[in-house]
Chain A
């Protein structure tokens, strides 16, 4: 890349206790908290401000037709994927690239499973029944929030795929650096799961 090397790409900074990539990831997640925080706040404001009845009123559970069992299963899928993500990192820490990559592949498969379930058992049937974003404020929020979350999942899949594939070349040169990158990916991944853990009760149960 360039001739000079920047410090703290691998080793931790004495004051922050983090290497630069991890620090940057935490900051990025702080901004993500603000992004989803704004959406959750909007949810609260719109729900509280909705007319009591008549057009524009908040949808009841029955009207929304959201199945908590599907949502719950997907929650489980994501929680397991978080565990396999940790396993991937732990394997790399112990110097086992092959095992690490396997766990990464499992994580990716679970992420894809989540997206496929979301599409085939939720989005498509809903759209067929006319429960599209313009149906009501609830569905506007539902599609925006879960859609944005699904984009985050897909973003994660792309990153993981990169680290299984071309990104893993770094292992040969600097295994610790590669392991750190997986740790950062893991932080992001746990955050995305956490968002879902908030989304699930807010949209399916409350």
Chain B
């Protein structure tokens, strides 16, 4: 019914300014993948300077001009721009958009049996505001002084007195935050109102639960950063002193500002967002991993309800742990003990979810498909990331480890081998739904093993570099004796990063070739149980030929006395 209508739309309305959640999801995914790759390239550049400080970068170095890399040698200001933009791009333009805007948009309405998102126009708008935010962010590289260079955390007063790139960064952030808000309203209403008949909350796939909690986090945590962004813009453009205390002296000059502000205020507002943001980065990733694991173990997820409750609990708790990022700002014992306690408490639901996924493997029948390889690798990688959070969450050990490479290693294990692997699992898993074609398994396995090995080569050395006491964000760690002592680890890490880049080649080839020439498959190639697999691949406008009805929970695999080892949510019981 909808196919004819669909074809009446012009090319622009169908593929560019589409209102269809699937097209918007694909737009998000492709844009975000490009940003992820771009952000990764920035890092590969930085890794040269870190491994071989002060040495000219062969061939590529000469492309950046005198303002950034004179004679192929990176300037500290360019290094700092790369660092700040790497963080910003990866978090706000890469991972969150692909998890929420991409997978969330494409898969969630299908999984709940909805024809579309509740507000299709809002959905389109949120993509285009995101795209505009991305473009604004990138223009930062072309303004005098280069892109923002005060770190992705943009701590004032440094960011208040930084070059024009910081203003561009703030405008970009305001757009990205607006986009997230529009998206999250849409997600919550869609999940609450548009579920298919019979799809009760506890029959929802875990992925949908993860998206729901994530949407609440985005909705409530982002506005304070927006407020902080407006205040920083005022500081930079209108000369206010929100974040500037009285008596500031920069380069020997007393600053002519009213003073009376507080640099710490920014940190509170920033981390009030940015800690929930960590869960925005990880919850949808756990959702993807749960889907793939249930499907490839051929048995129900162990402790589905416990996982759901843990996710909700994580969401609540994530609002009261933010100051564990600020242990070094002169905090007393009581406040640090409070935030250390909430931090220890928040580790419990994470452990519950991880344990549930792990026990789900017991008495399973594990299919080692490409998405499953990535989903399985997620478990130990996330475990390392989570465990190394302990020494950072305890204020006493944090004294030594705060702001060192240990922190970098810790959160990268959560988001790089963790979330990025979940993203790859999701791409391989839902690719046949989006295109009607499978991705090549041999190339996928090559991609997996390359990524798995080199991710660890990149990030594992960072724990030792951090234990040695090397601060993060150093343009050249050999300036310090303790940095020089672990320089060979930094070189190892750099080579790991470049090899990791090489390891992505099979994926890029696989992605484009399979989209055109992959093996054609029917609507449910993975023998899966959830609703999205009942729709044709690719689903038409409006998604389902007949209104779907749900008869049971999401993971009814290997139900006894059935000929097939899966019992889809959408299949009526016989008799």
Contact = CB atoms under 8 A, between A and B. Distances in A.
Do any beta carbons of A and B sit within 8 angstroms of each other in the complex? yes
Interface of A: 1-4, 6-8, 13, 15-16, 20-21, 23-24, 27-28, 30-32, 34-39, 42, 45-46, 49-51, 54-58, 132-137, 139-141, 143-144, 148
B2 interface: yes
Contact of B242 (A7, A28, A31, A46): A46
B130 interface: no
Nearest to A35: B223
Nearest to B268: A45
Nearest to B192: A16
11 contacts: A6-B114, A8-B118, A20-B193, A36-B227, A38-B223, A42-B265, A45-B262, A51-B246, A56-B260, A134-B258, A144-B230
Contact of B222 (A2, A28, A31, A42): A31
Contacts of B193: 7-8, 13, 16, 20, 23
Contact of B257 (A7, A50, A134): A134
B126 interface: no
Given A15-B192, A38-B227, A137-B242, A2 B265 contact: no
B188 interface: yes
Contacts of A27: 184-185, 188-189, 219
Contact of A6 (B116, B247, B257): B116
B171 to A, nearest CB: 15
Nearest to A134: B239
Contacts of A55: 246-247, 258-260
B115 A6 contact: yes
Interface in B238-273: 238-242, 245-247, 257-262, 265, 268-269, 272
Contacts of A54: 246
Nearest to A40: B227
Contacts of B542: 2-4
A58 B260 contact: yes
Contact of B192 (A3, A23, A136, A144): A23
Q: Could you tell me the dominant secondary structure of chain A's interface residues?
A: helix
Contact of B240 (A24, A31, A38, A134): A134
B234 A56 contact: no
B220 A30 contact: yes
A140 B246 contact: no
A56 B245 contact: yes
A42 B185 contact: no
Interface range, B side: 35 or more
B258 A135 contact: yes
B181 interface: yes
A58 B2 CA distance: 63
A1 B238 CA distance: 44
Interface of B: 1-2, 5-6, 19-20, 114-116, 118-120, 122, 181, 184-186, 188-189, 192-194, 219-224, 226-228, 230-231, 234, 238-242, 245-247, 257-262, 265, 268-269, 272, 541-542
Task: Name the residue in A15, A20, A27 with the highest tally of chain B Cβ atoms < 10 Å from its Cβ.
Answer: A27
Contacts of B259: 51, 55-56
A23 B6 CA distance: 29
A143 B257 CA distance: 16
B115 A42 contact: no
A5 B19 CA distance: 13
A31 B192 contact: no
B223 A32 contact: yes
Contacts of B238: 132-134, 140, 143
B186 A34 contact: no
The 10 A-B residue pairs with the shortest CB-CB distance, nearest first, are A56-B260, A134-B239, A56-B259, A140-B240, A56-B246, A38-B224, A35-B223, A38-B227, A34-B223, A4-B542
Nearest to B235: A140
B260 A137 contact: yes
A23 B193 CA distance: 9
Contacts of A16: 192-193
A140 B242 contact: yes
A21 B19 CA distance: 17
B533 to A, nearest CB: 20
B241 A140 contact: yes
A51 B246 CA distance: 8
B222 A56 contact: no
Nearest to A50: B260
Given A20-B189, A38-B228, A55-B246, A2 B262 contact: no
A140 B220 CA distance: 25
A137 B231 CA distance: 11
B500 to A, nearest CB: 37
A2 B258 contact: no
A126 B40 CA distance: 49
B195 to A, nearest CB: 10
B441 to A, nearest CB: 35
Contact of A28 (B185, B234, B246, B269): B185
B541 A136 contact: no
A185 to B, nearest CB: 15
A13 B2 CA distance: 25
Contacts of A34: 219-224
Contacts of A46: 242, 260-262, 265
A57 to B, nearest CB: 7
A55 B259 CA distance: 7
B550 to A, nearest CB: 16
A2 B224 contact: no
Task: Name the residue in A132, A134, A139 with the highest tally of chain B Cβ atoms < 10 Å from its Cβ.
Answer: A134
B80 to A, nearest CB: 27
Task: Name the residue in A7, A24, A141 with the highest tally of chain B Cβ atoms < 10 Å from its Cβ.
Answer: A24
A148 B174 CA distance: 13
Contacts of A39: 227
B369 to A, nearest CB: 33
B231 to A, nearest CB: 6
Contacts of B241: 56, 134, 137, 140
